Structure 1
Amino acid sequence: MSDIKRRITITVDPVAADYAEQLVAAGRAESVSAAFNAAILARRRREHQGLALLRERAAHADPARVARMRAHIDQQARAQGFQVAAGE
């Protein structure tokens, strides 16, 4: 974590606040702020890992298969009354 911090104000559910305080009391977090900081950074890390996996898989996708799948999805969308933009 960074040594530079920025103060913000958040409103959380009581159960979340209680849990953060329990983490501090148990010595598993330095402070309530540290507990919330760790949680949001963990979420950020999971999202970035998920995007990286998605990009890696997309890089290895078979273009012909993707085109067939998109055509099928477009057909289903049109059948349900949705407009499908050309080239999408």
Structure 2
Amino acid sequence: MANTSSAKKATRKIASRTDVNKARRSRVRTFVRQVEEAIASGDVALATAAFKAVEPELARAASKGVVPANTASRKVSRLAKRVKALSAPAA
């Protein structure tokens, strides 16, 4: 247990930041899931709209340090690839 006042304050700050980061991470996962569900349903318009919503969310999460920048970039890239494949005509 923290003894000094500064250590107690640090504990409080860590707890509040943890709550914020959990909320952000959960929000990102929700947006990613919406894109994946749209891709699974085969709806091109819905998938495109969901992808346009998830891209800034992932960028924001990366800039806030919730997820690593490379992870966010990789997720955006892979989702974009899947949405593009969905909208391409099946030849």
TM-score normalised by the shorter chain: which range applies? 0.3 to 0.5
Q: TM-score, normalised by structure 1?
A: 0.38
| TM-score, scaled to structure 2 | 0.37
Structure with greater proportional helix content:
2
* Higher radius of gyration, 1 or 2: 1
Greater relative contact order, per chain length (Cα 8 Å cut-off, separation 6+): 2
